[in-house]
Structure 1
Amino acid sequence: MALSNSQVTRLGDRLRSSSITNDDLALLDEFRQTFSEIDEKAYTITHKVLENTSDWTATKRKRKTQQSIVDKLCRLPQLRLPQMQDIAGCRIVLKSGTKQASELNNLLLAAFTQQDWQVEGKERDNDGYRAIHIIAKLGKQFYEIQLRTYAQDIWANLVETMSDEKNTLKYGGNEQEQTIMNKLKQLSESFVTIDSEAHNHSIEQYQQRIEAAIRHVLSD
């Protein structure tokens, strides 16, 4: 039986409580599985675009875990579970900078629009994190494509590596973590310039500039 919008909304409200039941988790998993079809359709469209595109390294499919969904609902009390846009999606990492990312963003927007999806590309810039997020919607379900430059992906992976299992580095943290995060934000600013000039350099030169920025900022 298909889950109704009101059922999913009430489930999201219960997941914010401190007493989540096994039945709630089972229902959440059932809800997650309803994204299988939109996942296949969106990933197919994405790869058809990438077949004719150079300068990308890899794609990674992702389905938001139960714990990640619960954590996000708790962080964002106004968010309704049916409106969560990143339960299903993929990540594309480029070998290059922002010029190529913008061009690929336009190609993806056009490809989804031609297949009658509602789609929007948003540049994310939040506490050092930078990427293009493409939100595609088919019916009532969302699919998110994270489009990162090589430098942006290195930055995001650094944060993940340095975070604990509760991600306190990304969401506040103690005084020591705040000091680290300030350095990472400074590194992100350095990457903006490097990314904007990446199309004027070889991939080797681009990578060398990234490595030099990391050494300069994190060794201070």
Structure 2
Amino acid sequence: MELEKSNVISKSTANRLGKDIRNLIENNQDPSEEQINLLQNYRTSFKDDLSVVVSIVSDIAQIGGTDSITAFRVKRIESILSKIKREPTMQLGNMGDIAGCRIILYRDDNINTVISQLQLRFNVLSINDYIKNPKEDGYNGYHVYIESPINPKRKLEIQVRTKETHIWSSLVEIIDHVYSLKLKEGEKHEDLQEFLFYLSRKKKLDITQKQKIINIDKKHEIYSNLFGVFLKNYSRIRLEWLNVTSFEDKRYFIFEVKTDNTSAIYSFQNYEDAEESYFELFKKEDKSNFVLAHIEKPKFKRMCLAYASYVMIHHDYLNDWNDIILDLLKLKQINSNENNNNLLEYFKRNLHDQVKLIEQEMEEVNKYEQNADVNLDSLKEWKEEINEKLNLLPRNTVNGNINKGNKSMSFFDRIMKKINRSR
């Protein structure tokens, strides 16, 4: 990755800027236009540092697996302002995550290899090990702070996390969007924090904790709200991706979540144009959430994983929900009490929602298959993903039928049989 040259802003200048902005915030005043312009200049002055670091990190990530995902971002202006307010002793020039990279690994046992390589290739200033000592909210991963290879006075952050941890972190941000909260920044919400904490350790949950997840979900309609957002965004985002004609030319992206939770993707040929568009978005009065990013080997599936909280078209929680419900039903052996019937109805509604989304995708693919203007590689990728989703569903679920001749009918099939009888 190569970024345009930038003018370096000194650490002392950044510290003065941060102090002035903090004084205004403490007096319930907004930063001036000049101060925001200076802050934007400070953000973009990390371009050269980030360019060198991303190139090295991308090579290291491949050691952790060829399917690993490397992405970079410069911290959003809103996030910088929020951190200045949240941490009154933090100097802007010492903020270690203004610019950074993220490595997402598919295998837990590759993390130590990647961390060792980072220590060999960079001057590592400090490491926050949230795997050994997870955060209170359940987050786990490594945050590695390094000295810039071209400017020893600058610090950059490299996050290393597993796919599972990244998916969980994305859910925190999605819930923030959908419920207009700031859980990621420390805002309290007892139910949703408990919900997220349990999901952060979903492989170790007992049946009581699974029941709590479902109870919180029903109370706040989490599944329904998320699915509603995903459904209204899916076709538009896929089409926007199909219309990116060449990923050799378009390597930079802005992902935006608008105030009505609709999402959008904008692609750019160079970083300078992308940053200019980012800053124009920031200056708009109707505040949306957006991030400027770069993804190595941009494929739709990789993009959706790396920036799930901005793309807003899917989350693995929908599948987790199915598994949890099935575990609860299996424990109760599908008897006829009212609680189990409620679970069946809940399961029926949400499963049919998932089928509805797949059917919508199939219709959209058929519509665009003959369109010569779309990226054919992206269209092929979409069709492959639909097949993957179909394979995850039990046989004949899409048609709502159960294979009655199968004497070794699975527990899932028995559930589906009961659901189909209730139609």
TM-score with structure 1 setting the length = 0.78
Structure 2 match to 1:12: 18
Distance change >3 Å, CA 68–CA 35, structure 1 → 2? same
Structure 2 match to 1:162: 175
Whether 1:54 aligns to 2:65 is yes
**In proportion to residue count, which structure has more strand?**
1
Distance change >3 Å, CA 148–CA 52, structure 1 → 2? closer
Once the two structures are superposed, residues 93-113 of structure 1 have per-residue CA deviations (whole angstroms, 9 ceiling, x without a partner) of 11122x32122111221122x
The one of the two structures with greater contact order (alpha-carbon pairs below 8 A, sep at least 6) is 1
Distance change >3 Å, CA 118–CA 147, structure 1 → 2? closer
Secondary structure of 1:154's counterpart equals: helix
Secondary structure of 1:78's counterpart equals: coil
Structure 2 match to 1:65: 76
Structure 2 match to 1:79: 90
Q: Is the 8 A contact 1:55 1:94 kept in 2?
A: no
Whether 1:216 aligns to 2:230 is no
Instruction: Quote the RMSD (CA, aligned, Å).
Output: 2.8
Q: How many residues align?
A: 197
Deviation at 1:58, TM superposition (A): 1.1
Distance change >3 Å, CA 181–CA 154, structure 1 → 2? same
Q: Is the 8 A contact 1:105 1:121 kept in 2?
A: no
Deviation at 1:68, TM superposition (A): 0.9
Whether 1:109 aligns to 2:83 is no
Match of 2:52 among 41, 49, 74: 41
Report matched runs for 1:106-145 at 5 Å. Answer: 106-112=116-122, 117-124=123-130, 125-126=134-135, 127-138=137-148, 139-145=152-158
Instruction: Supply the distance in 2 between the matched residues of 1:2 and 1:170 (Cα, whole angstroms).
Output: 30
TM-score with structure 2 setting the length = 0.42
Distance change >3 Å, CA 37–CA 167, structure 1 → 2? farther
Deviation at 1:53, TM superposition (A): 3.6
Instruction: Supply the distance in 1 between the matched residues of 2:41 and 2:193 (Cα, whole angstroms).
Output: 37
Once the two structures are superposed, residues 140-168 of structure 1 have per-residue CA deviations (whole angstroms, 9 ceiling, x without a partner) of 11111111111101110111111138642
Distance change >3 Å, CA 214–CA 29, structure 1 → 2? farther
Whether 1:185 aligns to 2:197 is yes
Q: What letter matches 2:120 in structure 1?
A: A
Deviation at 1:171, TM superposition (A): 3.8
Distance change >3 Å, CA 172–CA 84, structure 1 → 2? closer
Secondary structure of 2:14's counterpart equals: helix
Deviation at 1:118, TM superposition (A): 3.8
Secondary structure of 2:81's counterpart equals: helix
Distance change >3 Å, CA 191–CA 66, structure 1 → 2? farther
Match of 2:160 among 139, 143, 147: 147
**Structure 1 unaligned blocks of 5 or more:** 194-207
Q: What letter matches 1:190 in structure 2?
A: K
Once the two structures are superposed, residues 56-108 of structure 1 have per-residue CA deviations (whole angstroms, 9 ceiling, x without a partner) of 431111110111100111111110000000111111111122x3212211122
Instruction: Supply the distance in 2 between the matched residues of 1:192 and 1:96 (Cα, whole angstroms).
Output: 18
Deviation at 1:22, TM superposition (A): 0.5
Deviation at 1:131, TM superposition (A): 1.1
Instruction: Supply the distance in 2 between the matched residues of 1:214 and 1:46 (Cα, whole angstroms).
Output: 37
Instruction: Supply the distance in 1 between the matched residues of 2:125 and 2:203 (Cα, whole angstroms).
Output: 28
Q: Is the 8 A contact 1:109 1:121 kept in 2?
A: no
Instruction: Supply the distance in 2 between the matched residues of 1:152 and 1:169 (Cα, whole angstroms).
Output: 16
Distance change >3 Å, CA 103–CA 9, structure 1 → 2? same
Secondary structure of 2:15's counterpart equals: helix
Q: Is the 8 A contact 1:152 1:191 kept in 2?
A: no
Give the fraction of aligned pairs with identical amino acids, expressed as a percent: 26
After TM superposition, the structure 1 stretch with the greater mean CA deviation from structure 2, 122-131 or 58-67, is: 122-131
